[in-house]
Amino acid sequence: MKYRPFPSDGRETSLLGFGTMRLPQNSGRDNDIDQEKSIEMIRYAIDHGVNYVDTAYFYHAGASERVTGKALQDGYREKVLIADKLPPWALKTEDDCMRVFEDQLKKLGVDYIDNYLIHNIFQFNWKKVKSMDLVGFVQKLKQEGLIRNFGFSYHGEVEGLFEEIIDFAPWDFVQIQLNYIDTEFQAGLKGYEYAHSKGIPVVVMEPLKGGKLTQQLPESIEKYWDGLGHSWSRAEWALKWLANLPGILTILSGMNTLDQVKENIRILSEAEADSLTAEELNIIENAAAEYRKLIAYACTGCRYCMPCPQRVDIPKVLEFRNNWDLFAHNPSLKRDFRIFIQNPPSACVECGECEGKCPQSLEIRKAMRESAGIFESKSR
Ligand SMILES: NC(=O)c1ccc[n+]([C@@H]2O[C@H](COP(=O)([O-])OP(=O)(O)OC[C@H]3O[C@@H](n4cnc5c(N)ncnc54)[C@H](OP(=O)(O)O)[C@@H]3O)[C@@H](O)[C@H]2O)c1
């Protein structure tokens, strides 16, 4: 495993971090985590050099922290930096902040958290974050030794806010979505460069766009990967592109099989900063440009939009909607849609609750209308 030093205390941080938002499940229910498999994967990762584990209050409807805590028993806690997050949308009073934090310590079974983030700051909640003085709250936790470092995660636009937040407090780190597609989306490369210029290390989330970058894609994209005769997997191209950026501290991946854990450990045990050639970077840029042309809704499957009051599985419908364009209106998609989608998008009453929660600011209502038109029409 490659390591990069955490600037505030010099602690070596593994370039691969374990994101616990996509743990394997026993059933379709988000909180029904396959505990045995998850613990095996997290411990395997730690035994092979991973020392950063990221969770949050709402991942897997609250079950992620509990399972992460179990995985970190038996001496594993001391080997890792735990990252957890304070959810502004769940807080009304200062007492709520402490109640949530204490609940998190309890669920994780620890008496301090290494890296504590204000979760998902963006244009619509920044005012609340300031008026509730959440930054003051996390700073106080640090002074009291209950956390070691404080930061924030960000899904807003880069223009107009990101730099303001970065300059607002002496953050120890920042967490942004970054991958070779999303270079000009949310914080993107501009946000990365700004944080890096201020000496703030960047933790990356959604490095594989929630797994979208590892799927078999149309030939117009796939053709690029063979360009130099490398035998790199799709995950390898994506993770090496990120590792190439020196300001990145750790790359969180939400792995859900042991094979994925093994592969990502291998990739990030070899990848170096500033090591990709101009030809390699060129290939990635060309593939990204083609992908951006084909994708209608940049959903990462994070499921922040759920639950839908009409019980439509929004991320699944969006996946079908995107695949319709990506795979040239392949008729078998209509058959699969009927098999896999229980509550059809026509059940959407356009309440818009989902759009207020989507970190990618997607026009979900429009996508539901389009999907109903495509997949629920009688034609085959
Ligand atoms: N703070 C926030 O606001 C926020 C938001 C989002 C995420 N996060 C954190 O960031 C973490 C990382 O984001 P992410 O989970 O979206 O990561 P990601 O690496 O972009 O996506 C994970 C998915 O990629 C696929 N994958 C991973 N390794 C693979 C490999 N070697 N080969 C093939 N497929 C592979 C799997 O998808 P399949 O299911 O297709 O196998 C997996 O579920 C999260 O787990 C969470 O801890 C934080």
pTM of the model: 0.89
Question: For residue 21, how many C-alpha atoms fall within 13 Å in the half-sphere facing its CB?
Answer: 21
What is the predicted pLDDT for the residue at 184?
86
Residue 211 CA to ligand 1 center (angstroms) comes to: 6
| In the chain, domain spans | 7-292, 314-375
Index of the ligand 1 atom closest to the CA of residue 256: 43
Q: Rounded mean pLDDT of 95-118?
A: 98
Report yes or no: 302 and 32 within 8 Å, Cβ to Cβ: no
Residue 19 CA to ligand 1 center (angstroms) comes to: 7
Beta-bridge partner residues of 82: 53
Residue 345 scores a pLDDT above 60: yes
Nearest CA to ligand 1 atom 7: 205
Index of the ligand 1 atom closest to the CA of residue 205: 10
Residue 214, Cβ neighbours under 10 Å: how many?
Answer: 17
Residue 380 scores a pLDDT above 70: no
Determine the Cα–Cα distance for residues 354 and 45; give it in Å rounded to an integer.
34
Element (H, E) at 12: strand 12-14
Nearest CA to ligand 1 atom 46: 19
Please write the tens of the pLDDT for every residue from 46-100. Answer: 999 999 999 999 999 999 999 999 999 999 999 999 999 999 999 999 899 999 9
Structural fold of domain 7-292 = TIM Barrel (3.20.20)
| Mean pLDDT of all residues belonging to the chain | 94
What is the predicted pLDDT for the residue at 379?
63
Three-class SS state of 261: helix
> Rounded to 5 degrees, what angle do the CA atoms 232, 234, 239 make?
85
Which candidate, 197, 300, 201, places its Cα nearest to that of 253? 300
Element (H, E) at 281: helix 278-294
Nearest CA to ligand 1 atom 30: 260
Which candidate, 131, 132, 178, 126, places its Cα nearest to that of 152? 126
